Structure 1
Amino acid sequence: MLFSMTGYGEATIRRATFSVRAEIRSYNHRGFDWSARLPAVLAPLEDRLREVVRQFVRRGRVEISLTLEEFGGRERKLYIDWPLVEALLRVVRELPGKALPVPGNDWVWSWILGFPGVVNLGADELVPELAQAAEEATGKAAEALHSRRRQEGGHLEEEVRLHLQRLRKLHQALADREPELTKAYRERLEKRWEELRPQAVTPEFLSAAARELVMLGERLDIREEIVRLGVHLAAMEEALNLEEPVGRRLDFLAQEVNRELSTVASKAQDSEVALLVVEAKATLEKIREQVANVE
């Protein structure tokens, strides 16, 4: 079963005084990559939210965004940075009297309280109810993302299976062609042997020529490559039935298939085989394009 690496999921959890909305997008990536945009009050939850998402996503770039909406009723606290106030008062005391455009403490305190950083909004506390809602929203969004990735992966799997069926037919055509090639090679070697025998002036030369012809025959034999090609195709078909991510496995097997096809074309030196290999490689490339989007 294939899962696409691209997808989208969202979920909203509502409580009496707030709501949390989670949005998750995933994209193609060689491994697992994580990016989170969270309200300050939810920042301490990032590692936990990452664990929640990892239960559904093993590979791909994940971007998650949480939005917190409050409906009022929560008391806000203000804090004064007293060390900063004292530092500003020292500055005021050092000013000459004529430097103050308006005499009196009212101006001084107005200036101090308006100075950046003197009056601060207290940090929100991450109450258990809010943390639970954030995790729940993230889990539901990740589950929706997983469902969409699975749905898209189903379409990709259909394409891959169709291309694999075509590769199977091409593999069979190569297997059917192999005995004819073997027969032709044998006839060529026998003819060459008959040509060399009259020229052999010593037993050593005759023995060396025989070994050379045997090695040439082995170099032109494509039976082992045909067998390995079938094994790799079977492994790809089996991978499609697994419940775990198989994108990397399929990519590796596709590389092995490509390697065997290249060897077959190089060793066979046959126009019919060359045409079959060209079509097989074109079909294989379509599979690799689909696999690039698979978890």
Structure 2
Amino acid sequence: MKNEPTSSTLQLPLIDVAALRGSDPDARKAVAAQLRQACEQRGFFYITNHGVDEALIASVFAQSREFFSQKMEKKCAIDKRLSPCNRGYEPLRAQTLEAGAPPDLKESFYVGREVPVDDPRVIAGRFNTGPNQWPTALPAFRAVMQRYYEAAFELGETLVRGLALSLAMPESFFDDYLKDAAATLRLLHYPPQPGNPLPGEKGCGEHTDFGGITLLLQDAMGGLQVRDMQTQRWIDAPPVPSTYVVNIGDLFARWTNGRYVSTLHRVINVSGRERYSVPFFFTGNPLHRVECISTCLADGAAPLYPTVTVEEHQIECYRRTYG
């Protein structure tokens, strides 16, 4: 059996976040100090003792494999293009994350919070807000994904409060950002990298993530690579059992005036087998205004970025990758 990576062999930090759910403020601050170092130096890290049920995670992967193994006509019956809020199936090569490269060699399925069409947020046209599309042939799929969505959302909230502490702010600092927060669960399937790929073809081209933070589950196949900013080389982020890979997105990098880094990453599936991963993109309250945090701005310095709402930021990011 292949040896599993340990904390001494990993090139990204591994942080035990159990104390963030506890009552000891000093223990929470100690975790926050580790988060600060990871976010400033790498923008990527693993977390352990995250509190999400392992049986639920296994069910998510099982349902994802079942969904993607369906015939194409069943998947396309709930194509994302049929949804006004970007929910549903997205086929291979539908997205190009790396400018100038071939489209990404992956297919995916998007899930958000279930919001009915008569909700005031939908009527107002809030971006990426509305009802999901669900596969009718998989009776357990919807319940599993909705349970997982809520569990991942709760973990995202916990980490965001930890990030507030890491920035020398009160744990409640991001409460307005967390109110009515949006998030996207995405199921991803990568076929094996072809033996004769197009020049620059990858499972997922190099990119940074759009939103606040990303919580990533990956199967045992590997393939995720992160750009090391000091050496300008790609380093592997191999799968580690019972962990998430967490990374800072463009929104938090903007919010912290570049202090917390949104790092380039990509996926190249050279395992020779099917690869599955499950990112959860924690976006935040669409109407929340993002402006430079005071602890991230030196005296007399000007913010690097203008104030923007979460929704305005997301719309611009989608425009870049979907044209």
TM over 0.5: no
Which structure shows the bigger proportion of residues in strand conformation?
A: 2
Which structure shows the bigger proportion of residues in helix conformation?
A: 1
If the TM-score is normalised by the length of the shorter chain, which range does it land in?
under 0.3
TM-score normalised by L of structure 2: 0.24
Q: Which has the larger radius of gyration?
A: 1
TM-score normalised by L of structure 1: 0.26
